[in-house]
Homo-oligomer: A and B are copies of this chain.
Amino acid sequence: MAEKFTKNAVGRMIPEKINGKPVIPFQGVHKYITDGKRYAPPLSSSANFPEDGNKQVKDLKTALKNAGIKDGMTISTHHHFRNGDLIANQIFQAASEMGMKDLVWFPSASFPCHEPIIDFLKDGTIHHIEGSMNGPLGRFASQGHMRGAGVLRSHGGRYQAVQDGEVVIDIAVIAAPTADSFGNANGLTGESACGLLGFALADSQYAHKVIVVTDNLVPFPCIPWQIQGNYVDYVVEVDQIGIPDRIISGTTRITRSPDRLFIAELTAKFCDEVGIIKDGFSFQAGAGGTSLAIGNYFGEIMRKKGIKARFARGGSNQYLVDMLEEGLIDYILDGQTFDLAGVRSMRENPHHVNTSPFTSYNYHGKGNFAGIVDVVILGATEVDVNYNANVVTHSDGYLLHGIGGWQNCLFSKTVILPIPLFRDRIPIIRDEVTTICGPGELIDVIVTERGIAINPRRKDLLEKTANSKLPIMTIEELKAEGERICGVPEPVKLGERVIAAINWVDGTVIDVVYQVIE
């Protein structure tokens, strides 16, 4: 059966259906306006819940059974425990033991620790994964071994899809570092503290059944209730929900690579020169080594100027917390804590505020925080001469990363991608990226170790840097420089089978990922 494909607004061919469901091809930024309604889950009645509020059941299997698990259901998890999660594998182990088939796993992200899920994809317990597939699961899908197609969404897009009913979650399992027997839960305390539980918010609000699993059950009330027990059906106490040192690594450090440090310095200088770093400004960097270095340079500039930032969006870590505590930042608006300093600060400091994909990123809300941020620093695996960028596949075609909040952050006032000109002798700037995750019109500046390219749409930035000593170049010049050093890369031969869709923030499909021919 030949699939029908349509060309979307960034020139990519999009199939009519993904996993049997019709899709809308990407129509351009701010072009597709939904006329839908918010998803309406079945109402509950307190008559069906314990009068004393105690929803505890003996184990995960009982909770899944009580929740009415059956073949074909969609089961969601969240990724606050990153590579230390112990619950997702247990869910599908239990489901497999119960003889379930064709489940859809809808994680907010998956990690190498979830490699055992491959067994459940192979034995038919799971049909496919909707969500980012970092590492081994991505490789497995890229090799064409997953029955359905993966659907990758940004953090905001995942909230949007759940809110809009594009994904109906039958059972959400929320692993919580602290919870009470009513289901109130948070990530601030306990052995598995991860800071916050924002990625599970949509799941709690819209899933038909919600199970909270905790290894730190406290007497009601669990304060604060980042997850509200009023959305929760069952509570399960277990010995351990995550491996602390894989949840919070505490090891992210500012890069020592001279090239990366140079890129970071260039980025900060650029921001300063075009007037972004001013009193009351806001920024979002990230937790990678280069991003941390940029944050550090921002701090130096702020100290020198005697100014402060109104807020920084996190991923938080020690460096950002230090800036908050030094008074360089009024508020951290945090979507994910990356180390124990972040967890402690969020627990103790009312200026370190937990956010969610709803507040920060949901495109089908009445605006979101992304557009309020003055400058955002993001990464990319590839960028093309039209400033389109890729974050999910490598140039060899393998799907190895999720989108995270990357697409959502593109709505910031200025979007800067500090990237090396090449990685493993493969140039990063290409004629066409393997997979378009973000349209070039939203990407303003590329900073590399050899020069800075400004999107021609940003005439204001071009004017401000017209007489600059910064190495301003065209993107074509940057591309040529990369190819001069590494050679022109060979095109990669990919298969015809679509193994994943890349959704845009509005639920349309911006690109698809093809099977890799090995």
B residues within 8 A CB of A327? none
Interface SS of chain A:
loop
- CB of A320 to closest CB in B, whole Å: 16
Q: In A366-392, which residues have CB < 8 Å from any B CB?
A: 366-369, 371-372
A490 at the interface (CB under 8 A from B): no
> A310-B219, A353-B223 given as contacts; is B372 within 8 A of A232 (CB)?
no
- Give the distance in Å from the alpha carbon of A37 to the alpha carbon of B230 in the complex: 16
Of B224, B331, B367, B369, which contacts A50 at CB under 8 A? B367
Q: Contact: B44 with A353, CB < 8 Å?
A: no
Proximity bits, A226-263, B CB within 8 Å = 1, else 0: 00111111000000000000000000000000000000
Q: A387 → chain B, closest Cβ, in Å?
A: 18
CB-contact partner of A351 in B223, B230, B358, under 8 A: B223
> Which of A28-36, A118-126, A470-478 forms contacts with chain B?
A28-36
Which A-B residue pairs are the 5 nearest by beta carbons?
A: A49-B367, A37-B40, A40-B40, A30-B47, A53-B372
What are the residues of chain B within 8 A of A310 when measuring CB–CB?
219-221
Mask: chain A, 257-293; 1 = CB below 8 Å from B; 0 = not = 0000000000000000000000010000000000000
Which residues in B have their C-beta under 8 angstroms from that of A36?
42-43
Which chain B positions have C-beta within 8 A of A231?
365-366
Interface flags for A155-184 (1: CB within 8 Å of B; 0: not) read: 000000001100000000000000000110
Do A367 and B40 contact each other (CB < 8 Å), given the known contacts A220-B372, A372-B220? no
**Is the Cβ of B219 less than 8 Å from the Cβ of A280?**
yes
Within 8 A of B (CB), among A38-79: 38-53, 55
| Residue from B33, B232, B411 within 8 A of A45 (CB atoms) | B33
Q: Are A230 and B43 in contact (CB under 8 A)?
A: no
Q: Are A230 and B368 in contact (CB under 8 A)?
A: yes
Contact indicator A359/B45 (Cβ below 8 Å): no
State whether A37 touches B42 (Cβ < 8 A).
yes
A275 to chain B minimum Cβ distance, whole angstroms, is 16
